[in-house]
A and B are shown apart, each in its own frame.
Chain A
Amino acid sequence: MIRIEDVSLRHGQTQILHDIWLTIPKGGITALVGPNGAGKSSLLSLIARLQPLQAGRISVDSFPVDTTPSRDLARILAILRQDSIVTSRLRVRELVGFGRFPHGRGRLTPDDYAIIDQSLQQFDLTDLSDRFIETLSGGQRQRALVAMAFAQGTDYLLLDEPLNNLDMFFARELMRSLRRIADENGKTIVIVLHDINQASAHADRIVAMKSGRIVADGTPSDLLTPKTLQAVFGFQMRVETFDDMPVVLHFR
C-alpha cells in the first residue's frame, strides 16, 4: 500500500502540490490524469524519492520513502520517468539488465538472466535485444525503459507517461502488458496518462489532479462524466459508453 499523507511541495514561490492525501492499495492499476502542470509527475517523483520530501509523509508498504535506504526501496518500487536519458553504446539487453542492479549490485546470476529474457519477451524486444539504444526509435526506446523497470521485479511500478512516442499498436500492447502483470503477478501500477480513454480502458481507478490538488478519485465509470471532466480539464466534452466502457470524445 502506498500511503501519502499531507504532502506539499513548492519550488521557490510556486506551490506545486497542496496537502495531498491519497492511499493506493496493493494491486491493480491506478491512473493519474490531469492537465499539464497539475503536479502528477511531481507527486510520482516524490513517491519514488527522486526529490526530497518537503512536507508530509509518504510510505510504501509501511517503509517511509525519505528514511528507508535507497537500495532497499529499489527492491519494492521501480520508477520510469518521462525524460529518462540513456547513455551511449548500450545494448537493449544491457539496459534491461540494469533493472537487476538493486538485487546483485551488478553481478548477474542465471536467475537474473532468466528475468531479463522474460522482460524482453514481455515487451516484445527479443529481436531488438542486441541493438544499441541510440539506434532505436522513440517508441522502441520507451519499451526498453519499461522493460528495465519491469526487470527490477518490484511489487510497485510507477510510470510517468509511458505511452509517449508509442503508436496505437504499441500503446495498446503496453497497456495490455501492464494489465496482465497487474492481474497475474499482483503488481501495483501507478501510471500518469494523458490519453483519458486508455485510462478508461485499462485502469481500475482514476485519480484526477488539477493545480496541485486531487479533484476527483474513483473508478473509470464513476469519474468519467462530463461534469467531472469539465471540472478537471476546463472544457465541455461528450462521454459515450460502449461495451460498459466510457469513451470520452474530447477531439472537437
Chain B
Amino acid sequence: MPDRRLLCLAGAALLCIVAFMTIGLRGNIGFVLALRAIKLAALLQVSVSIAVSTVIFQTVTNNRILTPSIMGLDALYLFGQILLVFLLGGLGYAALDAQLKFGGEIIVLMALATGLLLPMLRRRTDMGLMLLAGIIFGILFRSLNSLLARLIDPNDFAVVQGASFANFNDVRTDLLAFAAILTIAGIVIAWRARHVLDVMALGADTATGLGISWSRNVTGLLLLVSALVAVSTALVGPVAFFGLLVVALAERLVDTRSHAALMPAAMLTAVIILVGGQTLFQHGLGSSSTLGVVIEFVGGFAFLVLLVFGSRK
C-alpha cells in the first residue's frame, strides 16, 4: 500500500517540521519564528531538490548508485564560483549582485552539465563505464577546484571556503526567494513528467518504441537536474551522498520504482532526515555543526552497501 506509506511519511515529515519550529522557543517568539521559518524554507528546498534530482538522474542513467553529486555536478558548480573569485578577486566577487550571479551560474552549470553528460546518455552506455566516468569527472572537478584554490590569494580563499563545505546552519538566505521559484518549477515539471519517467526507466529502445523521443527528453531532464543541483549547492554547499541515501531509503519504503510514488517518498524522506536531523542536533545534542558529517557518513556507508550487495536491478 504505497498510499498509506506515503501518508505515514508525510505525517513524520510534518512532525519534524513542527518540532523544528517549536522546540526550545524562548525570548522574542515572533523574531525567532521568523528566523526559523527562513531556515526551514531553505532546508525544505534543499531536501526536495536533492531528492528529485537524484531520482530523475538515476532513472535516466538506469542505475541506483550514481547521483548528480557523485558525478561531480556540485563540484562543477563550485568550480564556477572559484573561477569567478580567481578572475575577479574576493572583493569583486563579493560585490557582484547575488541573484544575478546565481542566475548566471545556473545557466552556465546547465550548459556545462548537459554538454558533458549528454554524449554519454544519448545512448545508454553500460553501468561500469558510467560509474568510472562519473567518479573521474567528480575527481577532475574537485582537483580543479583545489588547484584554483591554491592559486588564489589567502584572503580570497576564505570566501571560497565558505562556499565549499556543506553547512546546514549557515544557509544562504539572500538567494531563498529566487531558489524557491526554481525549486517549485522543478517539482511541477518533474511531477508532470512522472509517467514519461516510468517509461524511460524501461530503457532507450523500449521507451522510443512507446513514442518517447529519447534525446529530447534526456536533454530536458538533465537541464532540470542541473538546475536543482545548483539550487541545493548554492544554498548549503555540496552534499555527496545525501541524495543516494534518501532515494535508496525511499525505494525500500514504498517498494516501487513508479515515479508517482517514489518522487514524493524521496522528497518526504529527505525532509525527515534533514529537518529532523537538524532539530535533533540543535536541541538534542547541542553540537549542531555535525549533521553534514553524519549524513555523509551514513550516505557513504549506504553507497558501499549498494556497491557490494548490488542494487535490485
A interface vs B, CB < 8 Å?
Answer: 45, 48-50, 69-75, 78-81, 83-90, 94, 98-99, 101-102, 105-107, 134, 149, 152
Contact B209 A48 (CB under 8 A): yes
Taking CB atoms, residues of chain B closer than 8 Å to A101 are 195, 199, 210-211
The SS class assigned to the B binding surface is: loop
CB distance from B247 to the nearest CB of A (A): 13
Taking CB atoms, residues of chain A closer than 8 Å to B313 are 87-88
Instruction: List the B residue with the shortest CB-CB distance to A152.
Output: B210
Contact B209 A89 (CB under 8 A): no
Contact B209 A50 (CB under 8 A): yes
Contact A70 B257 (CB under 8 A): no
B99 on interface, CB distance cutoff 8 Å:
no
Instruction: Point out the residue from B202, B204, B205, B211 that lies within 8 Å of A71, measured CB to CB.
Output: B211
Taking CB atoms, residues of chain B closer than 8 Å to A107 are 195
Contacts A105-B195, A106-B194; A86 near B211 (Cβ below 8 A): no
Instruction: List the B residue with the shortest CB-CB distance to A149.
Output: B209
Contacts A71-B211, A89-B257; A45 near B195 (Cβ below 8 A): no
Inter-chain CA distance A152–B199, complex, in Å, is 13
Contact A90 B257 (CB under 8 A): yes
- Give per-residue flags for B293-313: 1 if the beta carbon is below 8 A from chain A beta carbons, else 0: 000000000000000000111
Q: Which residue among A49, A81, A101 has the maximum number of chain B CB atoms within 10 Å of its CB?
A: A101
- Give per-residue flags for B181-213: 1 if the beta carbon is below 8 A from chain A beta carbons, else 0: 000000000000011101101111110111111
Inter-chain CA distance A15–B195, complex, in Å, is 38
Inter-chain CA distance A105–B257, complex, in Å, is 18
B153 on interface, CB distance cutoff 8 Å:
no
CB distance from A139 to the nearest CB of B (A): 19
Q: Which residue among A70, A75, A99 has the maximum number of chain B CB atoms within 10 Å of its CB?
A: A70
Inter-chain CA distance A243–B258, complex, in Å, is 51
For window 193-250 of chain B, which residues contact chain A by CB distance below 8 Å? 194-196, 198-199, 201-206, 208-213
Inter-chain CA distance A65–B204, complex, in Å, is 17
CB distance from A78 to the nearest CB of B (A): 6
B interface vs A, CB < 8 Å?
Answer: 62, 194-196, 198-199, 201-206, 208-213, 251, 255-258, 311-313
The 9 A-B residue pairs with the shortest CB-CB distance, nearest first, are A106-B195, A74-B211, A71-B211, A102-B211, A79-B209, A87-B201, A88-B312, A70-B213, A101-B210
Inter-chain CA distance A70–B196, complex, in Å, is 13
Contact B210 A74 (CB under 8 A): yes
Taking CB atoms, residues of chain A closer than 8 Å to B210 are 74, 98-99, 101-102, 152
Inter-chain CA distance A72–B213, complex, in Å, is 11
Instruction: Point out the residue from B62, B194, B202, B255 that lies within 8 Å of A98, measured CB to CB.
Output: B202
Instruction: List the B residue with the shortest CB-CB distance to A107.
Output: B195
Taking CB atoms, residues of chain B closer than 8 Å to A78 are 209
Contact A84 B206 (CB under 8 A): yes
Instruction: List the B residue with the shortest CB-CB distance to A48.
Output: B209
Instruction: List the A residue with the shortest CB-CB distance to B258.
Output: A94
Contacts A98-B210, A152-B210; A81 near B257 (Cβ below 8 A): no
CB distance from B280 to the nearest CB of A (A): 31
Taking CB atoms, residues of chain A closer than 8 Å to B202 are 84-87, 98
